[in-house]
Amino acid sequence: MRVFKFGGASIATPERIEALLPIIKSESEPLLLVVSAIGKTTNALENIVNTACKGDKSEATHLAQQLEQQHLDYARTLLDYTHFNKIEATFNKYFAELKNGITHIEAAHYDRSYDQVVCMGELFSTLILFYYLQQKGISLEWIDARTVIRTDSTYRDAIVNWNLSKQQAQAIIGRKMKNGKTILTQGFIGSTLDGHSVTLGREGSDYTAALLAAMLGLESVTIWKDVEGLLNADPKLFNDTVKIEEIAYNEVIEMAFYGAQIIHPKTIKPLQNNNIPLYVKCFLDRNLKGTVIKSEVNDAQYPPLIVLKQNQILLQVTSRDFSFITEDNLSRLYAMFHARKVKVNLIQNAAISFVACIDNSAEKIKELTEELNKNYKVLSNENVSLLTIRHYNNEILEKLTNGKQILLKQETRKTIQVVMK
């Protein structure tokens, strides 16, 4: 038994959902289907949260009603009269939950408010897919992932309670799959022990698929995307990308750590720990071979693996009293970054200075800079890019940095990182 994960692009239109039917029907054993929100739904829900946090809950509710209508129109395109009536009645419950979430939004508790609203996108999409597949004669059951994935209360990046979630997964999902049922559930979402909705971080549906595969001891995970497999770089940023036939877990972990978007950074660990292969395949043509990610790849000759993170800020933090940036100072600095959930993408320290390349998040950086300025002098370079090349060579480095101002460079035997402007 296997896990199939479908992202937002794969269900962006009714036509795309219809195209998934042969993929799902081709399996002879029960599947676990893990599905994201439709298209740009998560962005729309984020806009609703932000509108309410600015004090306009009436407009936020209006935006929610528009989103409701969009999903109903989408469902009406796919479903016959009987199944549309069923989903319309079911939607009423979940749209009421969305509106209740808007009512209780508090700007002072943004992350918690965010999760109560944004989690709804996956619930809407999976209900549409459930009734469509049911209409097509597939025997399956819809499960609210919040009853399975149990977490702490770190809203927007919740930490999964492995033991409790595994217990729930085996009791709620595993038993039904052993009895021949295909299961449809949501990625990205879970719940705290006291029943509040949480999210696992943006693009967290891959992580959900990996967690459930590991907890249930399933054969493999396949992530269905709109590309032919795992590429050595983002095709939206680079024209001459190369598909990788097979790649080891550790290489993908490195790519994810440096910011590659194709696989969620947390996805690999539960798969690697349980020796479960991960396939990346194209839902536009299921006959394409795709990429397999596994424990070991014999005689691997990888192309340069390229990650470009744009809209970065390079901070230089210097001690005012010329104290050395040693363990005690580093510990304090790390604590300041961690407390504000500022991810450091590259660091370097000298005698009295500490340099960090970070994502440009204006609100977090303003708060961080104000705190740092109490004891340190802070300088920043804005709108810089962080280029990481694993298995690099001089030719590709020169090509990608030509005409750029190099602000910082770090190099190891396999990997080079350059901050440039």
Residue 353's DSSP bridge partners are 318
The C-alpha atoms of residue 140 and residue 137 are separated, in whole angstroms, by 9
The C-alpha atoms of residue 59 and residue 50 are separated, in whole angstroms, by 11
The C-alpha atoms of residue 343 and residue 293 are separated, in whole angstroms, by 26
Same domain for 313 and 215: no
Domain boundary, last residue among 151, 184, 219: 219
Same domain for 312 and 213: no
Residue 190's DSSP bridge partners are 198
Q: Per 3-state DSSP, what percentage of the chain is helix, strand, and coil (rounded to 5)?
A: 45, 25, 35
CATH number, domain with residue 44: 3.40.1160.10
Same domain for 312 and 194: no
The answer as to whether 237 is a domain residue is no
Same domain for 183 and 35: yes
The answer as to whether 292 is a domain residue is no
Each residue's pLDDT expressed in tens, for the chain with a length of 421 residues = 999 999 999 999 999 999 999 999 999 999 999 999 999 999 999 999 999 999 999 999 999 999 999 999 999 999 999 999 999 999 999 999 999 999 999 999 999 999 999 999 999 999 999 999 999 999 999 999 999 999 999 999 999 999 999 999 999 999 999 999 999 999 999 999 999 999 998 778 999 999 999 999 999 999 999 889 999 999 889 988 999 999 999 899 888 888 887 787 789 999 999 999 999 999 999 999 999 999 888 777 899 999 999 999 999 998 887 777 778 778 888 899 988 888 899 998 888 888 999 999 888 889 999 999 988 899 999 999 999 999 999 999 999 999 999 999 999 999 999 999 9
The answer as to whether 137 is a domain residue is yes
Asked whether 241 and 231 are in contact (CB, 8 A), the reply is yes
Same domain for 184 and 58: yes
Q: At a CB cut-off of 8 Å and minimum separation 6, what does 179 contact?
A: none
Query: Which runs of E-coded beta strand occur in 93-177?
Result: 140-142, 150-151
Domain boundary, last residue among 219, 235, 255: 219
Domain boundary, last residue among 219, 240, 272: 219
Using alpha carbons, select from 22, 18, 124, 137 the residue that is nearest to residue 68: 124
- Helix count and strand count (H, E) for the chain: 14, 17
The answer as to whether 320 is a domain residue is yes
Same domain for 310 and 200: no
The answer as to whether 74 is a domain residue is yes
Q: At a CB cut-off of 8 Å and minimum separation 6, what does 215 contact?
A: 162, 165, 166, 169, 170, 270
Q: Quote the number of domains for the chain.
A: 2
Q: Please give the DSSP secondary-structure letter assigned to residue 237.
A: T
Same domain for 311 and 198: no
The answer as to whether 87 is a domain residue is yes
Q: Considering the entire predicted model, what is its pTM?
A: 0.87
The C-alpha atoms of residue 70 and residue 181 are separated, in whole angstroms, by 30
- Which token pair is 31? 């599947």
Q: At a CB cut-off of 8 Å and minimum separation 6, what does 63 contact?
A: 44, 47, 48, 51
What's the Rg (C-alpha) of the chain? Answer: 23
The answer as to whether 84 is a domain residue is yes
The answer as to whether 43 is a domain residue is yes
Q: Please give the DSSP secondary-structure letter assigned to residue 405.
A: P
The C-alpha atoms of residue 45 and residue 61 are separated, in whole angstroms, by 11
Full residue range of the structural domain in which residue 409 is found = 305-420
Same domain for 309 and 212: no
CATH number, domain with residue 361: 3.30.2130.10
The C-alpha atoms of residue 50 and residue 66 are separated, in whole angstroms, by 16
Same domain for 198 and 94: yes
Q: What is the pLDDT of residue 413?
A: 93
The C-alpha atoms of residue 141 and residue 174 are separated, in whole angstroms, by 12
